[in-house]
Amino acid sequence: MSRVEIMTGNQAAALGARLARVQVVAAYPITPQTSLTETLAQLIESGEMQAEYIRVDGEHSALTVCIAASTIGARAFTATSANGLLYMHEQIHWAAGSRLPIVMCCVNRGVGAPWTIFNDQQDSISQRDTGWIQLYCRDNQEIIDTVIQAFRIAETIYCPVMVCYDGFVLSHTLMPVEIPEEEKVDAFLPPYRPHTILDDTNPRTINPVMFADLRANAEGILCDGYMEIRYKLEYALKGALKTIQDVSDEYALVFGRDHGGLIWEYKTSDAEVILTGMGSIATEATIAADILREKGIPAGVVGIRAYRPFPTEALIRALKRARSIHCLEKAVSYGFAGPVYTDLRAALYGSECDAQMQDYITSLGGRDIQPSTIAEVVLNRIKSDAFDGRFREPIWINCRTE
Amino acid sequence: MICEVIWHGRGGQGVVLAAQMLAEAAYRHGFRGVTATPTFGPERRGAPVIASNRISPEPIRTFAQIRKADLVVVLDESLFHAVDILGRLKDTGVLIINTNDAARYVLPESIHLFTVDAVGIAQRHHLMREGAPLVNVPMLGAVARASELVTIEDLAQVVKRKIGDDHLSQNLAALEEAYSGTTMRKHG
């Protein structure tokens, strides 16, 4: 029988990793990720989890250890936040380029300078173009379920997955979480089979320097050059759209919980005003939608769960009836706009969805946002007569801007 | 309806654990939506610390800061000099104070004031840590008396799960004594 326990997001992530039978953990503590790695260390030390916890000198080494472990066929897991994630940056590219199915939790935190330990999503967003799948969780139940799903997705298509959730907001808030049954998880997630078997009787070089062009091997067969290998990574990420959805659907059948796969919707069937965002801000937006409905505005929420690959088709389907779309974002592409707005505007351009769009930057460095405030700014925006199809500057919510 | 709770204590008093135990007990009681949240950020021993709960029949969908709570629990009454405690309590909210001098508190009549001498109870049951009385479990007993969020039985089950055998019987006795020793202010 599955059971419900009241736990933090970090505990949920750690239990997810244990249920996924992770074999190697290498991580370096950083707020707000710390209690996740502490929980894993305890589980491994007590023997409840059969894995090796490899202590490292920093995040770059943590991911390097995971790369090595994954290469030789071990299921590897790590977790970090903010500047720790940035310190990994070189190896984040390397893991994806090597097509290693590593799963990493990014416990989202604002990036220094100036220092903040509090939540926004600038850290994972800044790793957007590395070739990792990025999934954003809206509550602690979704965290435990997504860590398990992430390994299944990663090992199906040989791409690493970043499971992102909001630091403190979820990582340190306790809420009820149903713990999946071990036997069901084992059946759902078969053992990891590496794409390359290392064999000392048949030694090989992995990731040698590539030449620009295709090159014939000893048998005269033309082998991929750098560009083909990079195209295959892009092709795999695009294919991941189906894998993420399929894995989510199968998970829902087996465990009875459906987190939506690529996106999720709240009261959208008749909605003209759609709020969108990733992670806990989208959960918050569901209450804002309720408040707007009380005021007679047919509002709904489309939560984006998969940010990379970006679910263009799913979003067009979900948004085609929308008259206005309001992106709530905890990150900025400095010099332009928020990342969700940027991508969504590009994805919807020329599609059957011709909704007006407005971007909102919110909650950077943990700044509090109330659902009533979200409802208020959206209401002010849709009442504004200057709402047209042109690009407009993002609105910074709860921020002194003059 | 969501019931929002704020716990005021000092770092080291077990405020976060109290909020956690209330969430678990309320879930046992049948509330499907429970959250417990520590003050986000670094904590220091002795410094004012806040933890909070949301408790609802439906799953909780907000993680925003609680502006004005329905129920406020004060573990250390010296905090009235350091923190704007009443500023974050609804006008008709419930306030539970750990004090042995209820008469000291002159508050608007709309506030439902409950008091309990949790320090005395902790001392009688030898619930001490580093020379300071541990008042978090007694204050949970007071919450059971002052609200309909949990029963004393729900709390006893959670205390049994959370607290090691060494201090279990003292904690259970303190919980019980605080429950019966919590008094509501009478209006003249």
DSSP sequence for A161-178: EEEEEETTTTTT-BEEEE
Q: Number of residue pairs across A and B with CB atoms under 8 Å?
A: 62
State whether A168 and B60 contact (CB < 8 Å). Answer: no
Q: What is the token pair recorded at A163? A: 């499971």
CB-nearest partner of B35 from A118, A173, A368: A173
What pLDDT does A371 receive? 98
Instruction: Return the closest-CA partner of residue B180 out of B143, B141, B150.
Output: B141
Q: Is residue B135 part of a domain?
A: yes
Where residue B42 falls among pLDDT bands split at 50, 70, 90?
low
- A257: contact with B, CB 8 A cutoff: no
- The answer to whether residues A146 and A172 touch, using CB atoms and an 8 Å cutoff, is no
Q: Residue A175: which of B35, B38, B64 has the nearest Cβ? A: B35
How far is CA A400 from its chain centroid?
30
Beta-carbon contacts of residue A369 (< 8 Å; ≥ 6 apart):
A281, A284, A362, A363, A397, A398, B64
pLDDT (0 to 100) of residue A229: 96
Residue B41 has pLDDT above 80, yes or no: no
* Number of domains comprising chain B: 1
Q: How far is B3 from chain A (nearest CA, A)?
A: 15
Whether B64 and A368 lie within 8 Å, measured CB to CB: yes
Phi and psi of A215, rounded to 5°? Answer: -135, 140
Using an 8 Å CB-CB cutoff, list chain A residues near B23: 6, 174-175
- The shortest C-alpha distance from B39 to chain A (Å) reads 9
Could you report how far apart the first and last alpha carbons of chain A are, in Å?
57
CA separation for the pair B50, B7 (Å, rounded): 6
Using a CB-CB cut-off of 8 Å, the residues of chain B touching A176 are: 27, 32, 34, 59
Q: In angstroms, what separates the C-alpha of A385 from chain B's closest C-alpha? A: 30
Residues of B in contact with A289 (CB under 8 A): none
Instruction: Please state whether A261 falls in left (phi above 0), alpha (psi between -120 and 50) or beta.
Output: left
Distance CA A294, CA B87 (A): 28
Helices and strands: H and E segment counts in chain A: 13, 17
Among chain B, residues having any CB pair with chain A shorter than 8 Å are 20, 23-24, 27, 32, 34-38, 40-42, 59-65, 67
Secondary structure of A192-218 in the HEC alphabet?
Answer: CCCCCCCCCCCCCCCCCCCCCCCEECC
With CA atoms as reference, report the closest residue to A127 among A150, A159, A93.
Answer: A93
What does DSSP assign to residue A20? T
The beta-carbon neighbor of A369 closest among B27, B59, B64 is B64
CB contact under 8 A, B20 and A369: no
B31 CB neighbours in chain A (<8 A) are none
From first CA to last CA, the distance across chain B in angstroms is 31
In which domain, by residue range, is B118 found? 3-183
Does the domain formed by A3-188 have CATH 3.40.50.970? Answer: yes
Rounded CA separation A134/A144 (Å): 15
Candidates B72, B80, B66, B12; CA nearest to B43 is B12
How big is chain B, counted in residues?
A: 188
Angle, in degrees to the nearest 10, between helices A9-19 and A34-45: 40
Closest partner residue to A6 (CB to CB) among B24, B41, B61 is B24
> Does residue B43 carry a pLDDT above 90?
no
Tell me, yes or no, if A115 comes closer than 8 A to chain B by beta carbon. no
Instruction: Give the model's pLDDT for residue B187.
Output: 67
Question: Exposed/middle/buried for B80, CB within 10 Å: 0-12, 13-18, 19+?
Answer: middle
Residues in chain A within 8 Å Cβ distance of B65: 368, 370
How many Å separate Cα B134 from the centre of its chain? Answer: 12
Would the CB atoms of A284 and B27 count as touching at under 8 Å? no
> Can you tell me the distance from the alpha carbon of A43 to that of A20, in angstroms, rounded to the nearest whole number?
13
B72-122 tens-digit pLDDT? 999 999 999 999 999 999 999 999 999 999 999 999 999 999 999 999 999
Q: How far apart are CA B66 and CA B57, in angstroms?
A: 18
- Mean pLDDT throughout B7-34? 96
Q: Rounded distance, CA B172 to CA A14, Å?
A: 31
Extract the tokens encoding A226: 């750098």
Over the stretch A78-121, which tens digit does the pLDDT of each residue have? 999 999 999 999 999 999 999 999 999 999 999 999 999 999 99
Q: What is the pLDDT along chain A (402 residues), one digit of tens a residue?
A: 579 999 999 999 999 999 999 999 999 999 999 999 999 999 999 999 999 999 999 999 999 999 999 999 999 999 999 999 999 999 999 999 999 999 999 999 999 999 999 999 999 999 999 999 999 999 999 999 999 999 999 999 999 999 999 999 999 999 999 999 999 999 999 999 999 888 889 888 899 999 899 999 999 999 999 999 999 999 999 999 999 999 999 999 999 999 999 999 999 999 999 999 999 999 999 999 999 999 999 999 999 999 999 999 999 999 999 999 999 999 999 999 999 999 999 999 999 998 999 999 999 999 999 999 999 999 999 998 677 778 889 999 999 998
Angle, vertex CA B109, rays to CA B108 and CA B113, nearest 5:
90
Tell me if B188 is assigned to some domain. Answer: no
**Fold for the domain defined by A263-396:** Rossmann fold (3.40.50)
The complex's ipTM? 0.94
- For residue B59, the domain's CATH number is 3.40.920.10
- pLDDT of B188 strictly over 60: no
Q: Which of A175, A366, A370 lies nearest to residue B60, judging by beta carbons?
A: A175
CB proximity list for A156: less than 8 A, separation 6 or greater: A243, A247
Distance (Å) from the alpha carbon of B106 to chain A's nearest alpha carbon: 32
- Domain coordinates in residue numbering, chain A: 3-188, 263-396
What per-residue confidence (pLDDT) applies to B131?
Answer: 86
| Residues on chain B touching A4 (C-beta within 8 angstroms) | 27
